[in-house]
Structure 1
Amino acid sequence: MEIKKIRDLSLIRLDETRTMVVACDSCGGVGSKKWDAYKVPPVYVGGFSARVVLLELICAGAKVVALTDNICNEMDNTGKEIIAGIKKELKAAGIEDVILTGSTEENFATVSTAVGMTAVGLADQKDLKVNSVRGEAVIISAGVPKVGKEIDLEGDSEIIDYKTLYGLLKNPSVYEIVPVGSRGIAYEAGQLALYNNLRCHINDDCGVDVQKSGGPETSVIAAVDGKAVRDILQDVPETHVIGYLRFL
């Protein structure tokens, strides 16, 4: 059995054809409890926390089979609301027949909201979208990097949605997609280049803040065939050319 750590993903080669993909994330200080730094209903904590790990697996080309929520609060009512948010996000992603399991804190009273999320997926080796850039490529971003109060919780049309993401995944001119987390677009572009043995160049004025936190993965970057860039920019909302990948 072969195990690899690539960016925020753990890949476990099960046999000649199948790979298990694991992604995890944590969220703390966001919720409706006394000492939460950012006050929001726990249902959004569950939804956006699930979104992070789901996007990681979806972008990697894996089918989500299990999701665990390690809720560091009581089941009634914080846990129930977080779980409701997770189920809503799974539905938005079109994911069914998934094992949802987890734990809550019932021994002690808590004054801040926290949850750890882990997603497990399976992929045929031929379908993996990890380290799959075919040489030189253009880097684009889709969606606006946002965090905290910048996100419209009732529905934000500027952040990457699942319909757009699935469309990019089906496009043969899109080589690899990477979600953008708290370290920003420039960091993720550097990691994309590193793991594909390429050199990354970021354009000075690309129309988006490449250092800004992407929060709960409100945007993604993608390495695409340079010949397809114009069509992708026209078809996908909130896209920008970030830079390019070149041979070392």
Structure 2
Amino acid sequence: MEIKKIRDLTLIDIDKEYTMVVACDSCGGIGMKEGDTFKVPTVYVARFAVRVAIMEVICAGAEIVTITNAVCNEMNNTGIEVIKGIKEELKMAEIDSVVLTGSTEENFKTISTGIGITAIGMVSKDEVKVNSAAGEAALISIGIPKVGAEIDFVKDNSIVDYSTIYRLLKHKDVYEIVPVGSKGIAYEAKELAKNNGHKLNFKDNILVDVNKSAGPSTCIIAAVNQEKINDLKKDFKKVNVIGLMV
């Protein structure tokens, strides 16, 4: 059994045909408890925490088979709200909620919200989209980096959605997709290029803040066929060219 660590993913070769993809995320001090630093309804905290792990797994081309939630609080009512939020996000991602399992803290009283999420997916080895950028490629971003109170927790059309991810995964001119988190577009773009054996030349006058945190994966970057940039701009909204891998 071969195990590889790439970016925030763990890839485990199960057999000659399939690879398991594992990603996780955690969230603490955000919620409605007395000790929380940032007051947000728990259902939204759970939605965006599980979103990060889901995005990591599906962008690698894998199908989610299990989601675990480690709620560091009581079931009633923090755990109930967490489960509700996770199920809402799974529905948005078109994932059956039967994959969900988890645990809560019933022995001790807690004064701040804590959630740990792990997502596990399976993918055929010939369909893994990790370190799969073919030769020289352009890097694009879709979605706007946002974090914390900048996000409309009910609906935010500037955040990249799951339907866009699924369309990108099927597009022949899209080689690899990476969700962007707190380290920002520039960091993830340089890492993507390096992991594919390339250097990145950033474009001048980029129309998005490449150093800003994207919080719960509010945007993605993708390595694409540089000759098809104009076509991709027609097919997808809010596409920004970040640079070229050389």
Could you say whether these structures have the same fold, taking a TM-score greater than 0.5 normalized by the shorter chain as the test? yes
Structure 1 residue 228: Cα displacement: 1.2
- In structure 2, C-alpha distance between the alignment counterparts of 1:70 and 1:204, rounded to whole Å: 43
- In structure 1, C-alpha distance between the alignment counterparts of 2:71 and 2:191, rounded to whole Å: 30
The 1:88–1:97 alpha-carbon spacing in structure 2 relative to 1, beyond 3 Å, is closer
SS in 1 for 2:84: helix
SS in 2 for 1:198: coil
SS in 2 for 1:129: coil
- Residue 90 of structure 2 is matched in structure 1 by 90
SS in 1 for 2:69: strand
- Residue 184 of structure 1 is matched in structure 2 by 184
Which 10-residue stretch deviates more, 1-10 or 26-35?
26-35
- In structure 1, C-alpha distance between the alignment counterparts of 2:235 and 2:32, rounded to whole Å: 38
Could you tell me which amino acid in structure 2 is paired with residue 240 of structure 1?
N
SS in 2 for 1:177: strand
Structure 1 residue 98: Cα displacement: 4.2
SS in 1 for 2:15: coil
| Corresponding residue pairs, total | 246
- In structure 2, C-alpha distance between the alignment counterparts of 1:53 and 1:42, rounded to whole Å: 17
- Residue 14 of structure 2 is matched in structure 1 by 14
Deviations 1:147-184 (A, max 9, x none): 01111111000000011111111100000000001100
CA RMSD of superposed structures (Å): 0.9
Structure 1 residue 79: Cα displacement: 0.6
Q: How does 1:116-135 map to 2 (within 5 A)?
A: 116-135=116-135
Structure 1 residue 73: Cα displacement: 0.8
Could you tell me which amino acid in structure 2 is paired with residue 85 of structure 1?
G
Using structure 1 for the length normalisation, give the TM-score: 0.97
- Residue 161 of structure 2 is matched in structure 1 by 161
- In structure 1, C-alpha distance between the alignment counterparts of 2:182 and 2:97, rounded to whole Å: 30
- In structure 2, C-alpha distance between the alignment counterparts of 1:121 and 1:72, rounded to whole Å: 24
Q: Is the 8 A contact 2:90 2:97 kept in 1?
A: no
Structure 1 residue 204: Cα displacement: 3.6
Structure 1 unaligned regions, length at least 5: none
Q: Is the 8 A contact 1:22 1:119 kept in 2?
A: yes
The 1:115–1:234 alpha-carbon spacing in structure 2 relative to 1, beyond 3 Å, is same
- Residue 235 of structure 2 is matched in structure 1 by 235
Q: Identity percentage over the alignment?
A: 57
Deviations 1:75-133 (A, max 9, x none): 00011001100001001000126421111111111111110100000000011000100
Q: Is the 8 A contact 1:65 1:97 kept in 2?
A: no
Which 10-residue stretch deviates more, 128-137 or 31-40?
31-40
Moved over 6 A (4+): none
Structure 1 residue 74: Cα displacement: 0.7
Q: How does 1:1-248 map to 2 (within 5 A)?
A: 1-96=1-96, 98-246=98-246
- In structure 2, C-alpha distance between the alignment counterparts of 1:153 and 1:45, rounded to whole Å: 9
Deviations 1:2-52 (A, max 9, x none): 000000000000111100000011111110111211111100011111100
Structure 2 unaligned regions, length at least 5: none
Deviations 1:185-225 (A, max 9, x none): 01101110111111112224211111110100000000000
Which 10-residue stretch deviates more, 154-163 or 194-203?
194-203
Using structure 2 for the length normalisation, give the TM-score: 0.98
- In structure 2, C-alpha distance between the alignment counterparts of 1:197 and 1:91, rounded to whole Å: 37
- In structure 2, C-alpha distance between the alignment counterparts of 1:136 and 1:98, rounded to whole Å: 41
SS in 2 for 1:159: coil
Q: Is the 8 A contact 1:140 1:241 kept in 2?
A: yes
SS in 1 for 2:199: strand
- In structure 1, C-alpha distance between the alignment counterparts of 2:98 and 2:209, rounded to whole Å: 36
